[in-house]
Chains A and B, each alone.
Chain A
Amino acid sequence: MSTPETSTAVPVAAGDGDGAGGPILKVEGIHTYYGAIHAIKGVTLEVRKGEIVTLIGANGAGKSTTLRSINGLNRPREGRITFQGEDITNRPAHEVVAMGISQSPEGRRLFPRMSVLENLEMGAFQRTDRQNFGEDLDRVYDLFPRLAERKTQKAGTLSGGEQQMVAIGRALMARPKLLMLDEPSMGLAPIFVEKIFEIIVEINSQGTPILLVEQNALMALDVAKRGYVMETGQIAITDDADRLSENEQVKKAYLGIA
């Protein structure tokens, strides 16, 4: 378990304000390796019902590896991950998705030679309630009207912003109980970044808790309720998002404010 000295952990009491509730995801002291590299050294975090939680930090701090530990692509060697009270530490990735965690991966990772519609279909792969498929598709098209226009186009031919829309839409097609977004603003034009963050807030307001990994700390802290700052495989600071934005260390290191 890692609680470095820099920590100013002030856990928000469960159930206070805007529908935030008990933890839906709990990550407890996980250690994850990339081959021989000890990438995650005792990370503990949680996501509660209805909230946006952001995980910020520099490149290579271990943010994406943390997500890969949760979604089953890179199993932790130590520690425990529970989702809705169930232990998912050693579950294979496809089962984690079936339980309700879906993800928009870093770099979007669309299926480039499949159409936009087929990509969205793949998002719903684990769903057994096929009759709601149309309804969810409409919801995604409501959020991203552009995708409805491009549904027959090959995903690899879309612009970066449009690809990000497909990646988020695809993750939503799983009707997730927890949505994980990995660097959704990376490489996008500023106007698209604004748009993507608006969408993130909108998805959350419809009731889906979100774990948001971002390098754009300013924007991420703006939409999040709580935040974790990662440094070299550990959680360095955790606090309410608005207090993190005021934190001197965070300001210096991640917000570019002296």
Chain B
Amino acid sequence: MPSGRPSLVGLLGLFFLLLIIVWLGVNFVKDPQEFINVFFVGLTRGAVYALIALGYTLVYGILQLINFAHGDVFALSGLIASSVLLSVFGVTTDSGAGLVIVAIAVALIVAMVLASTLNVTIEFVGYRRLRHAPRLAALITAIGMSFIVQNIALAIYDVDYQSIPRLIPNSSVLTIGEVALQWNKLFVLALTIPVLLALTWMVRETRHGKAMRATSQDRDASAMMGIDVNRTISFTFALAGSLAGAAGLLFLLYFTTMRYDTGFELGLIAFTAAVLGGIGNLTGAVLGGILIGLIQEFNEGLAWATPGGDWTRSIVFGILIAILVFRPSGLLGEQTPEGE
């Protein structure tokens, strides 16, 4: 604090943080094994959130638009992936490892291609012409797109949950004492971390990535540099969509069940994660996703003085409001305004 006198809000925030640390500490001391197990569950859930949050943040970074349809693209592609696994490959719990691997690989490709095509189409149809319109117009269109995609999923898959057999075993990879890391968690983490690294490298170093950054900072100047702005924005939506597709399949494999409206709440949670980390910031999206995943699992999994699952939504969206009010730039967001 440069002013020397901390504000009341700052003090309150500090107090809350202290309270949370004490709460986590007590829980850890009471049952360290359970604590670490819950930590891994939260980390895995957070990784799924992170993948979806990355899509929000990529699109926001380039258009300053919240693509509310993103969560529904995620859900629809997950459902399509379930069809590929069940109807095309007919996998069951008894299927051989070879078939399962091929089926997952094909489902991943189908989900990613479908989701990126859908996302690019949404931008082309819904957002492109509104680029110079007031922000609210694009936002309303985004909400409309969300309902359309959700209802397409409803029309195809009806209201029932689509469930697949557990294909990634939840047997332990390694056990230390009574703490175990299972294959299905490792699978999710092993996919998310390289995706983040690859994405960060791409945005920082490649020609496409630099075009994306330039376009996000000044669209007209980018066009004057010879960057095809429309193509760059389409590329960004394709990238965000393919992440949503991958997240859809991962969610399905890990939680084994989803339906047409799974993307609505998950989308809002992932959006919260993106805002928490600092919207527009890739590392922030992952950090925010993992934090929200941890908060949710700690809240639902720890034993001592825990609010419990009924309060998860209130806590998560309370965080969203607190961040928007007290620190709109998020944990890692740029402090400097856009432009100069």
User: Do A and B actually bind?
Assistant: yes
**A: which residues have CB within 8 A of B?**
71-73, 92-94, 97-98, 102-103, 105, 109-114, 118, 121-123, 125-126, 156, 170, 174
Q: What sequence of 0s and 1s flags, for each residue 230-241 of chain B, a beta carbon within 8 Å of any chain A beta carbon?
A: 000000000000
**B336 close to A (CB within 8 Å):** yes
Could you tell me the distance between the alpha carbons of A220 and B225 in the complex, rounded to whole angstroms? 25
**B158 close to A (CB within 8 Å):** no
**B339 close to A (CB within 8 Å):** yes
**B8 close to A (CB within 8 Å):** no
**B226 close to A (CB within 8 Å):** yes
Can you report 23 residue pairs joining A to B where beta carbons are below 8 Å apart? A92-B223, A92-B228, A94-B223, A94-B227, A97-B223, A98-B226, A102-B224, A105-B221, A110-B218, A111-B217, A112-B340, A113-B213, A114-B213, A114-B214, A114-B217, A121-B210, A122-B210, A122-B214, A122-B225, A125-B211, A125-B227, A156-B336, A174-B226
Q: Identify the closest chain B residue to A154 (Cβ).
A: B336
Could you tell me the distance between the alpha carbons of A247 and B158 in the complex, rounded to whole angstroms? 79
Smallest CB separation, B62 vs chain A (Å): 13
Could you tell me the distance between the alpha carbons of A73 and B213 in the complex, rounded to whole angstroms? 20
- Closest 4 A-B residue pairs measured CB to CB? A126-B226, A97-B226, A93-B223, A109-B221
User: How many residues in B have their beta carbons less than 8 Å from beta carbons of A?
Assistant: 21
Interface residues of B: mostly helix, strand, loop or mixed?
Answer: helix
Among B226, B336, B339, which residue has its beta carbon within 8 angstroms of that of A125?
B226
Indicate the member of B218, B220, B221, B227 with the most A CB atoms within 10 Å: B221
Smallest CB separation, B223 vs chain A (Å): 4
User: Which residues of A are found within 8 Å of B217, using beta-carbon distances?
Assistant: 111-114
Q: Identify the closest chain B residue to A121 (Cβ).
A: B210
**B229 close to A (CB within 8 Å):** yes
User: A112-B340, A113-B217 are known contacts; what are 14 more A-B pairs with Cβ within 8 Å?
Assistant: A93-B224, A93-B229, A94-B223, A94-B228, A102-B224, A111-B221, A112-B217, A112-B336, A113-B336, A114-B214, A122-B227, A125-B210, A125-B227, A126-B225
